[in-house]
Amino acid sequence: MKKPLFYLLGAVALTCLSYSNCSFAANTDKTLASIKQASQSIEKKVIQWRRHLHQNPELSNREFKTAAYIEKHLRSLGLEVKTKVAHTGLIAILKGAKPGPVVALRADMDALPVKERTPVDFASKVTSEYNGKQVPVMHACGHDTHMAILMGVAEILSARKQELAGTVKFIFQPAEEGSPAGEEGGAELMVKQGVLKNPEVDAIFGLHISAGTDVGTIGVKTEGILAGVDDVKIIVKGKQAHGSTPWKSIDPIVTAAQIINGLQTIVSRHMTLTERPAVVTIGAIDGGVRSNIIPERVEMLGTVRTFSQEDRMAIREHIRNKATLIGKSMSAEVEVKIPYSASYPVTYNDIELTNKMLPTLKSIANKVKIIKPITGAEDFSFYAQEVPGMFFFLGGKPLDVSEEDAAPHHTPDFYIDESGMRFGIEALAQLAVDYLNMHAK
CA dist 172 and 148 (Å) reads 10
Is this structure's pTM higher than 0.85? yes
Domain presence at residue 8? no
Structure confidence at residue 134 (pLDDT):
96
Buried/exposed code over 358-386 (b: 16+ C-beta within 10 A; e: otherwise) = bebbebbbeebbeeebbebbbbbbbbbbe
Q: What is the CATH number of the domain that holds 165?
A: 3.40.630.10
| One domain for residues 365 and 321 | no
Structure confidence at residue 248 (pLDDT):
98
| One domain for residues 206 and 64 | yes
What φ, ψ does residue 218 adopt, rounded to 5°? Answer: -120, 135
| One domain for residues 62 and 169 | yes
| One domain for residues 153 and 42 | yes
| One domain for residues 84 and 188 | yes
Domain presence at residue 5? no
| One domain for residues 131 and 185 | yes
Q: Mind spelling out the 3-state secondary structure of the chain?
A: CCCCHHHHHHHHHHHHHHCCCHHHHHHHHHHHHHHHHHHHHHHHHHHHHHHHHHHCCCCCCCCHHHHHHHHHHHHHCCCEEEEEECCCEEEEEEECCEEEEEEEEEEECCCECCCCCCCCCCCCCCEEEECCEEEECECCCCHHHHHHHHHHHHHHHHCCHHHCEEEEEEEEECCCCCCCCCCCCHHHHHHHCCCCCCCCCCEEEEEEEEEEEECCEEEECCEEEECEEEEEEEEEECECEECCCHHHCECHHHHHHHHHHHHHHHHHHHCCCCCCCCEEEEEEEECCCCCCEECCEEEEEEEEEECCHHHHHHHHHHHHHHHHHHHHHCCCEEEEECCCCCEECCEEECHHHHHHHHHHHHHHCCEEEECCCECCCCCCHHHHHHCCEEEEEEEEECCCCCCCCCCCCCCCCCCCCHHHHHHHHHHHHHHHHHHHHHCCC
CA distances from 201 to 123, 289, 335, 439 (A): 37, 52, 41, 13
CA dist 368 and 121 (Å) reads 32
Domain presence at residue 261? yes
Structure confidence at residue 182 (pLDDT):
86
Structure confidence at residue 25 (pLDDT):
54
Number of separate domains in the chain: 2
- Nearest to residue 135, comparing CAs of 111, 100, 159? 111
Last residue of a domain, one of 326, 343, 360: 343
| One domain for residues 354 and 287 | no
Last residue of a domain, one of 311, 343, 375: 343
Query: Mind listing the pLDDT tens digit of every residue in the chain (441 residues)?
Result: 434 333 333 433 334 444 444 445 556 678 889 999 999 999 999 999 999 999 999 999 999 999 999 999 999 999 999 999 999 999 999 999 999 999 999 999 999 999 999 999 999 999 999 988 999 999 999 999 999 999 999 999 999 999 999 999 999 999 999 998 889 999 999 999 999 999 999 999 999 999 999 999 999 999 999 999 999 999 999 999 999 999 999 999 999 999 999 999 999 999 998 888 999 999 999 999 999 999 999 999 999 999 999 999 999 999 999 999 999 999 999 999 999 988 999 999 999 999 999 999 999 999 999 999 999 999 999 999 999 999 999 999 999 999 999 999 999 999 999 999 999 999 999 999 999 999 997
Residues spanned by the domain of 194: 17-224+346-438
Last residue of a domain, one of 343, 377, 411: 343
| One domain for residues 236 and 214 | no
CA dist 116 and 400 (Å) reads 22
Domain presence at residue 2? no
| One domain for residues 277 and 409 | no
Domain presence at residue 149? yes
Q: What is the CATH number of the domain that holds 295?
A: 3.30.70.360
Domain presence at residue 43? yes
What φ, ψ does residue 369 adopt, rounded to 5°? Answer: -105, 135
* Whether the Cβ atoms of residue 104 and residue 82 lie closer than 8 Å to each other: no
CA distances from 81 to 13, 76, 93, 150, 259 (A): 43, 11, 7, 14, 50
Give the residue numbers marked as catalytic. 344, 418
| One domain for residues 272 and 205 | no
| One domain for residues 165 and 24 | yes
| One domain for residues 194 and 264 | no
Domain presence at residue 81? yes
Domain presence at residue 263? yes
